[in-house]
Amino acid sequence: MKKSSLINDYLQHYAIDNQWKLMANDIENIAQVVVIPAYAEKELLFHTLASLAKNFPSSLAYSLILCVVNNKENSPLDVKENNRQTLECLDALVGQKCINTFSGDRALYQRLSFIADSGMKLAYVNAASPGCEIPMNTGGVGTARKIGMDMAFRLLKDSEAAAKVIVSLDADTLMQENYLSTIHDYFHADTDTKTAIVDYEHQFPPDALQQAAITCYEIFLRYWVLGLAFACSPWAFHSIGSTIAVSTDAYLEVRGMNRKEAGEDFYFLNKLAKVGKIDSIKETRVYPSARPSSRVPFGTGKRIQRFLSGVCPDEYCLYDPRVFAVLGDWLRLVDNRLFESGEEILSKAERIHPQLKTFLMESNFSLFWSKIHRTAKDEKTLSRHFLDWFDGFRTLKVINYFTREVYPQINMFRAVESVLEMSGRSRLKFDPAQERPPLHEQIEILRYLRRIA
């Protein structure tokens, strides 16, 4: 099927309804669109836009910043009022209107003035006002991201840029001044690049307890990627919504963003990893917020809120490193035995661990293995089909299964020490007799993990 037909098919059958209107000051000659969902984010969104406005003027010229202000019909009244005020500010910026009406709030006025003077190409979608809200039965932040990313796809599909990129950001995230130019240059240096993850560090709040909360959570995130990397898993990458950059071709190939209420970034990247390598952009960095939040059932905000509430006694626990050893042995087994029967594979899996065979049988591995052997005959195709089946979601399932049935979670710092030793890396400098090192030592551990995972 020709690319034009694929685009039309996507827009007709998979893109979100084109019922929301784009309000923009300039959409000419853009090569990338940065999509920012905003749900009651007046206090932080314009910090983020001001941070973007500090990027090089040349990069602002080919980048469109697209804010999707959103809520549902049944959203709280304070959320709707916050969004109304946010839209007023955006309308003034996009319409190049006088912003003196906001001078009563000096800090906001200064940020708006800075953004207006930067020459930023700014746009917004109103998915918040009466009659424009996101339908109550269709997701949350995933839907907001999809509205913006589908709009970005429509804007970029006719662009003459060598590489056309959709960038996912959050309304509470800051970035370095080379953020836009680095993403642009990365995709233009290799136009075959499909997806990339921008390096990140969570912002450190001034409060010591909140510092402890985000340090604990980010160690967990980086330990997860380090463990998967030890197992040589193709899913060893971070899944954070404010770090994703994707080519329009890859976006089309996976039929766009999903509409999930939470975890939309994980599922989106899970699809993207099946159509191409997930690259890492290390030459720039974003700084997501470390604030607590109850907006979604899981993720950074929820974990920070849980830590601060003290309701969970196991915050300083991580997966036992042995689960990653089992995972690595399993992936190597399949990679070396692609042409063996399902029964032979299961027999060898049992030697790795009896519970691995049980998990595979409960997952109908034999049925799947027989099916792909009927349709695929070469090694490359068999490997691709296997990884499509044993994807990031099933990887998470097997790790949770072994944690539940065989290897319970262990102390965070012993776990990190063990996986570093297994990976042949430098060991940590802390007293192993301590269950929980002082906060300043935890922060040093995190800084080390930031360099390697």
User: According to the model, what pLDDT value does residue 298 have?
Assistant: 60
Which residue ranges does the chain devote to CATH 3.90.550.10? 3-208+235-309
The answer to whether the CB of 175 falls within 8 A of the CB of 51 is: yes
> What's residue 77's pLDDT?
97
Q: Which residue positions in the chain have pLDDT lower than 50? A: none
- Which CATH architecture group holds 3-208+235-309? Alpha-Beta Complex (3.90)
* Rounded Cα–Cα distance for residues 121 and 365 (Å): 50
Kindly state the DSSP code that residue 245 receives in the 8-state scheme. Answer: E
Q: Report pLDDT for 247.
A: 98
Cβ neighbourhood burial of 25 (10 Å; 0-12, 13-18, 19+): middle
Q: Which of 241, 273, 233 has the alpha carbon at shortest distance from 260? A: 241
pLDDT confidence of residue 382: 95
CA distances from 254 to 14, 29, 204, 215, 258 (A): 10, 26, 35, 34, 10
What is the per-residue pLDDT for 119?
A: 95
Q: How far, in Å, CA of 231 to CA of 217, rounded?
A: 22
Q: Residue 136's pLDDT is what?
A: 84
For residue 418 the two structure tokens come to: 């063990």
d(CA 453, CA 173): 20
Residue pair 243/175 in contact by the 8 Å Cβ criterion? no
The full DSSP string for 196-222 is EEEEE-----SSHHHHHHHHHHHHHHH
Are β-strands 121-127 and 63-70 bridged in parallel, bridged antiparallel, or unpaired?
parallel
| Cα 245 from Cα 206, distance rounded (Å) | 30
Q: Tell me, what's the pLDDT at 292?
A: 67
**DSSP codes of every residue in 367-428:** HHHHHHHHH--SHHHHHHHHHHHS-HHHHHHHHHHHHHHT---EEHHHHHHHHHHHTTPPPP
